[in-house]
């Protein structure tokens, strides 16, 4: 066996255990960025592997298919987002305090890594185009509803939300977050301004009663 063939086989083999975690983390980060920019259909495993500095064969040691990789990125993003949200709201007592804290964390995440918001937005588009993806994502997408349902439960308990208005409150929260992600996440200054506007709505500082007719 010549030296060139040995090198090739070594590159195609499973990475050493000490490197495995770092390589998987790099693959997830690169895949999130590429999926968020180019979408599921255009992005290939070969593109991701090349950007990660590994062979396509090595990539399949971690993820059996492109869909498996996409789902893994989705789970990784969801885990990171809702861990950050949970940490930010851990010691707060009211619905309003918690939701305002969530908005601040959302802005910080968007500022630190815009690919997270881009990917979340891309998932909605990709899932509409690929029924098999939508079916696979469905049981994995309860974390968002669970988190915000818990916030609404607290709002009902504190008297901030009427029990009869629960569904409206949840619709409001999800619409606000989708709007922040899809409409303004690409412009950090606009994203911050939108968050400040939402805060003003929440605290009653944005809108006033109309002036009486003369």
Q: pLDDT for 42-57, tens place per residue? A: 999 999 999 999 999 9
At how many degrees (to 10) do helices 66-89 and 45-52 cross? 60
Mean pLDDT, the chain, rounded, equals 88
Domains along the sequence of the chain with CATH: 66-203 (1.10.357)
pTM for the predicted model, two decimal places? 0.84
pLDDT at 13 over 60: no
3 vs 29: CA distance, rounded Å: 33
CA 126 from chain center: how many Å?
14
User: What does the pLDDT average to over 96-123?
Assistant: 93
pLDDT at 9 over 60: no
- Give the model confidence (pLDDT) of 139-174 as tens digits: 877 888 889 999 999 999 999 999 999 999 999 998
Intra-chain end-to-end CA distance of the chain, in Å = 96
Task: Find out whether 147 and 99 touch, Cβ atoms under 8 Å.
Answer: no
Task: Spell out a b/e string for 68-89, using b for 16 or more CB atoms within 10 Å of the CB, else e.
Answer: ebbbbbbebbbeebbebbeebb
The percent of residues in the chain predicted with pLDDT above 70, rounded, is 91
User: What does the pLDDT average to over 65-88?
Assistant: 95
pLDDT at 133 over 50: yes
Task: Find out whether 101 and 195 touch, Cβ atoms under 8 Å.
Answer: no
Specify burial of residue 105 (Cβ count, 10 A radius: 0-12, 13-18, 19+). middle
């Amino acid at each position: 066996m010549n030296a060139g063939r040995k090198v090739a086989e070594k590159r195609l083999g499973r990475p050493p255990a000490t490197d495995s975690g770092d390589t998987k983390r790099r693959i997830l980060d690169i895949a999130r960025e590429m999926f968020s920019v180019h979408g599921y259909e255009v992005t290939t495993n070969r593109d991701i592997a090349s950007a990660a500095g590994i062979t396509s064969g090595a990539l399949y040691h971690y993820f059996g298919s492109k869909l498996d990789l996409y789902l893994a990125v989705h789970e990784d993003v969801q885990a990171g987002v809702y861990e950050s949200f949970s940490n930010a709201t851990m010691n707060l007592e009211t619905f309003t305090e918690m939701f305002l804290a969530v908005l601040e964390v959302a802005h910080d995440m968007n500022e630190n890594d815009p690919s997270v918001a881009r990917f979340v937005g891309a998932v909605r588009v990709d899932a509409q185009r690929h029924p098999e993806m939508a079916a696979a994502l469905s049981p994995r997408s309860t974390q968002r509803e669970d988190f915000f349902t818990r916030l609404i439960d607290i709002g009902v308990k504190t008297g901030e939300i009427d029990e009869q208005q629960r569904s409206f409150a949840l619709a409001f929260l999800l619409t606000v977050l989708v709007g922040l992600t899809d409409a303004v996440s690409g412009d950090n200054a606009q994203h911050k301004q939108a968050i400040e506007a939402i805060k003003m709505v929440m605290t009653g500082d944005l809108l006033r009663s109309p002036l009486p007719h003369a």
